Amino acid sequence: MSDAQWYLTIRRYGGTGAPEEIAQRIRDGLLPRIRQEATFRAYYVARLDGGGGIFSASVFEDRAASVRVSEAAVQFAERDLAGLLTGAPLITRSAVSVHLDATRPGTDAYMMVRVTEGLGPSTGTLPTVQEKLVPLTLEQPGFRHLYTGRDEEQPDRSVALAVFSNRSTATAAHAQVAALMAQHRDIWPQSPKVLLAGEVIVAALA
């Protein structure tokens, strides 16, 4: 576990293009550009459960690189994925306060974005996150990575990007997290909601 602040950007795109073709174009055209950034930490693309598009997530150690690469990703989608994706993406940015990596080997095959609203200041919630939520997350079967922090545009909302080995382990872990939060309504007054979820089609780590 590390408490150094990183920066997470999530982009959701609509579209009906074949995920395999989208993934190949990203691997060939965009991913090399992303890897050139010295502060690059992680990049993922997943097909949305139920179809209708994709979502991507990028993690960097500094905000400037995060913004710069996100802009490049949007331009790439407009230019190189035209016809496969439609419209401008919905973008969520978060300053990551806690990020975790599994100690057990496994594949990064399923991604879930969870949001929790109605939170108090981070100084009041972070100790409970580290004491309760971090150990619970690390013991979940199939857990691979977690990046969590506050939404830049909605400070009372946390954004958690979790990567698992498959859908069933991600779903089970979410249920465990929701049950823990229900026991601490003074910290988490509202239940967490799954905003996005789907099978990973591109995965890259620094």
pLDDT attached to residue 193: 97
Please say if the pLDDT value at position 2 is more than 60: no
Please say if the pLDDT value at position 55 is more than 80: yes
SS3 22: helix
* Whole-angstrom distance, CA of residue 122 vs CA of residue 149: 9
For the domain spanning 6-205, the CATH number is: 3.30.70.100
pTM: 0.94
Mean pLDDT of the chain: 94
Residue 99: φ, ψ to 5°: -135, 140
Domain residue ranges in the chain: 6-205
pLDDT attached to residue 1: 45
pLDDT attached to residue 90: 96
Query: pLDDT category, 104, cuts 50, 70, 90?
Result: confident
* Whole-angstrom distance, CA of residue 10 vs CA of residue 164: 17
Query: pLDDT category, 105, cuts 50, 70, 90?
Result: confident
Query: pLDDT category, 4, cuts 50, 70, 90?
Result: low
Q: What is the mean pLDDT of residues 141-149?
A: 96
Please say if the pLDDT value at position 161 is more than 80: yes
Cβ 108 vs Cβ 188: under 8 Å: no
% of the chain surpassing 90 pLDDT: 91
Cβ 23 vs Cβ 201: under 8 Å: yes
Chain segment 13-50, per-residue pLDDT in tens: 999 899 999 999 999 999 999 999 999 999 999 999 99
Structure-block tokens of residue 29: 């055209």
Structure-block tokens of residue 116: 């929790």
Q: What is the mean pLDDT of residues 87-115?
A: 94
* Whole-angstrom distance, CA of residue 139 vs CA of residue 3: 19
Among residues 145, 100, 98, 92, which one has the least CA distance to residue 122? 98
Q: What is the mean pLDDT of residues 166-185?
A: 97
